[in-house]
Chains A and B, each alone.
Chain A
Amino acid sequence: MKLKKDIAISDSGFLFNPSSGDSYTANPIATEILKYMQSGFSNEQIIVSIMESYEVERSTIEKDLFDLESMLSNYKLTR
């Protein structure tokens, strides 16, 4: 899934969508994932990276990533 190009993401988890003016807040792990997305990681790469640094099972992160993506498209942050 690809984020819209012009979305700004701060390290503290603040997101700004300049085309709508809406802002969002993300928790640290979501911020990390959004940054991976911005740098063009595939879902598989994201899952592996998260599993490397967090104590989490594959089934959980898969489910949660899918859920995060549905939220992002719901907020119209994806292209």
Chain B
Amino acid sequence: MKKKEKKIYERPLIRPLNASISNKFGRRTEWLPLTHIDGIPVVDLINEFGSPLFVYSEKKIRDNFMMAKRAFETRYPKIQFAWSYKTCYLNAVCNVYHQMGSWAEVVSGFEYEKALQNGVPGDKIIFNGPDKSKHDLLLAMKNNTLIHIDHFDELYLLTELASSSKSKPRVAIRINMDTGVYPQWDRFGFNYENGQAWEAVNKILMNDALDLVGIHTHIGTFMMTPSAYAVATAKMTELAIQIKKKFNHIITYIDMGGGFASKNTLKGSYYAGADAVPDIGEYAEAITSALLNAGFDRNNLPFLYLETGRALVDDTGFLLGTVLANKRLADGRRATILDFGVNTLFTSFWYDHKISPAQEMGHYAEETILYGPLCMNIDVVRDAISLPPLKPGQHVVAQYVGAYNITQSMQFITFRPAVVMIDREGRSHLIRKRESLDYVQKNEILPSHLKKLNW
């Protein structure tokens, strides 16, 4: 007689049914498995490249960019995007943006050199931030880079350098302002309301050492209110028009920075990010209407520069991982330990990341805490999520992790993982190797008296 076929085993689970309206343990969609990325099975990616593993979808990067570009270009004729390096400066990712016509926006000498090495012409790089050394400034002047001045000390230094070099660097000033959204980002640049910005403009235009080509602002990040951009754009256009009136000087571009929200869910927010965040078209509408209504000469409209970061790249990145173990905490809650923690998924400090199983699962979900592998209390990837029972060795996919993780993840306790990009034909490319002991120790120097150990 043929032996009876056995049923597939699933961990026995029981959970209370409570009638409460809000469920802090996440959403139904999180239980839905994400088994493939751009057609490649997650398990194949892990088998080939290891776990944990970051994966970027080139197709998604391009699609998002085209969508954002269209949202702005259908509303305003002069648009230029500049890829914000700090959001993700893997060369492969940067060059996808550069291939699509995006310039580079950098905030340090390191990022500046990276953009140059990637092949971005110096005059298509925007150099922002309070930290530009004299060396950086001289290099930027030589390359005809757009230097965005952050404070008066920098303004004086650059004026001095320009006067002694006989060149006239192209500059903009960074402006901060009250847009009705708090906290106000007033640490960077010159303040609009108290007249500082106007004073900086006067200094530059009276002196004639620098060529004031633009004005720049970045009103904050993960801005949920498009109307703040309308307010900010109106203030920027007002300044440009005043400059024209007083000095007969034309500002050729207005740089509105970054800050559009991505589809992520900020901690503490009730709605899932994908349902709550404004569409890129809403930001585009707010900014371009303010530009078109400002009263510029139609034949002399300023360019609109955008330094959009997370809204373009967040949902193009995935972090694949593996379940190490399950535990029951003293208070009865279930805990699942993953092979990536807050060292790798740095943004779990401010996002409730969407984390899905990577294989088909049953429909029963359990309230779970997701921990990383670090021996530290802070290593919580999700403090409350509803997931089907995962077994050690099974895989999960953290979604919307493309922004600020590669650049901010720490080499702490474990190596930082490899990064793969899937191209538009569905081929996977290793774009950053997993770190090794040699790599991590490369810059260490052991003094000779500490080399010998006497056991």
Q: Which residues of A contact B (CB under 8 A)?
A: 15, 22-30, 33-34, 50, 52-56, 60-61, 64-65, 67-68, 70-72, 74-75
Give complex CA distance A36, B242 in Å.
83
Residues of A within 8 Å of B8, CB to CB, are 54-55
Name the CB-closest residue of B to A72: B14
Whether A27 contacts B17 by the Cβ 8 Å rule is: no
Q: Which residue of B lies closest to A22 (CB)?
A: B16
Contacts A29-B12, A54-B6, A65-B12 supplied; 9 other A-B pairs, CB < 8 Å: A24-B17, A25-B17, A29-B11, A53-B6, A60-B9, A64-B12, A70-B328, A71-B328, A75-B14
Nearest residue (CB) in B for A27 is: B364
Q: Which residues of B contact A25 (CB under 8 A)?
A: 14-15, 17, 364
B7 at the interface (CB under 8 A from A): yes
Q: Specify the chain A residue showing the minimal Cβ separation from B364.
A: A27
A14 to B17, CA, bound (A): 9
In the assembled complex, how far is the CB of residue A78 from the closest CB belonging to chain B, in whole angstroms? Answer: 12
Q: Which residue of A lies closest to B14 (CB)?
A: A26
CB of B14 to closest CB in A, whole Å: 4
Q: Is B362 an interface residue (CB 8 A)?
A: yes
A56: B residues at CB distance < 8 A: 9
Across the A-B interface, the 5 shortest Cβ-Cβ residue pairs: A30-B12, A74-B332, A27-B364, A56-B9, A54-B9
Encoded as 1 (CB less than 8 Å from any A CB) or 0, chain B from 1 to 30 comes to: 000101111111111110000000000000
B9 and A15 contact, CB distance less than 8 A:
no
With both beta carbons as reference points, the residue of chain B lying nearest to A71 in the complex is identified as B14
Interface of B is mostly: loop
User: CA of A25 to CA of B56 in the docked complex: distance in angstroms?
Assistant: 38
Contact indicator A24/B15 (Cβ below 8 Å): yes
Q: In the complex, which residues of chain A have a beta carbon less than 8 angstroms from the beta carbon of B391?
A: 60
What range describes how many residues of B lie at the interface?
Answer: 10 to 19
Residues of B within 8 A of A30 (CB): 12-14
B19 to chain A, nearest CB (A): 9
Q: Which residue of A lies closest to B11 (CB)?
A: A64
B438 to chain A, nearest CB (A): 38
Choose among B6, B8, B13, B364 the residue with the greatest number of A CB atoms under 10 Å from its CB. Answer: B13
Which of chain A's residues have a CB closer than 8 A to the CB of B15?
24-25
Main secondary structure of the interface of A (DSSP, over half): helix
In the complex, what residues of A have CB within 8 A of residue B10's CB? 27-29
Partner pick for B9 among A55, A67, A68, CB 8 A cutoff:
A55
A68 engages B12 (CB within 8 Å): yes
| A72, B362: Cα distance in complex, Å | 21
Pairs A–B under 8 Å by Cβ, sample size 22: A15-B14, A24-B15, A24-B17, A25-B14, A25-B17, A25-B364, A26-B12, A26-B14, A26-B364, A27-B12, A27-B14, A27-B362, A52-B6, A55-B7, A55-B8, A55-B9, A65-B12, A68-B14, A70-B332, A71-B332, A72-B14, A75-B14
Q: What residues of chain B lie closer than 8 Å to A74, measured between beta carbons?
A: 332
- Near A by CB (< 8 A), chain B positions 380-404 give 391
Contact: B9 with A24, CB < 8 Å? Answer: no
Residue B7 contacts which of A15, A22, A53, A71 (CB distance < 8 angstroms)?
A: A53
Residues of the B chain whose Cβ atoms lie less than 8 Å from the Cβ of A28:
10
- What CA separation (Å) do A64 and B332 show in the bound complex? 14
User: CA of A43 to CA of B182 in the docked complex: distance in angstroms?
Assistant: 59
Docked complex Cα distance between A70 and B328 (Å): 8
For residue A14, which residue of chain B has the nearest CB? B17
Tell me, in angstroms, the Cα distance from A66 to B208 when the chains sit together: 79
Which chain A residues border B326 with CB–CB below 8 Å? 67
CB distance from A16 to the nearest CB of B (A): 10
Question: Closest residue of chain B to A65, judged by CB?
Answer: B12
Q: How far is the CA of A23 from the CA of B4 in the complex (A)?
A: 35
* Residue of B4, B11, B364, B391 with most chain A CB atoms under a 10 A cut-off: B11
Chain B CB within 10 A, most for which of A15, A25, A65, A72: A25
| Distance A68 CA – B328 CA, assembled complex (angstroms) | 10
Q: Within the complex, which residue of A23, A27, A68 is in contact with B16, where a contact is CB–CB below 8 Å?
A: A23
Residues of A within 8 Å of B332, CB to CB, are: 70-71, 74-75
Q: In the assembled complex, which residues on chain A have CB atoms less than 8 Å from the CB atom of B12?
A: 26-27, 29-30, 33, 64-65, 68
Interchain CB contact under 8 A, B17 and A55 = no
Question: How close is A33's CB to chain B, nearest CB, in angstroms?
Answer: 5
Closest to A51 in B: B6
Closest to B331 in A: A74
A29's nearest neighbour on chain B, judged by CB, is B12
Question: In the complex, what residues of A have CB within 8 A of residue B13's CB?
Answer: 26-27, 30, 68
Task: Return A36 CB to nearest CB of chain B, in Å.
Answer: 11
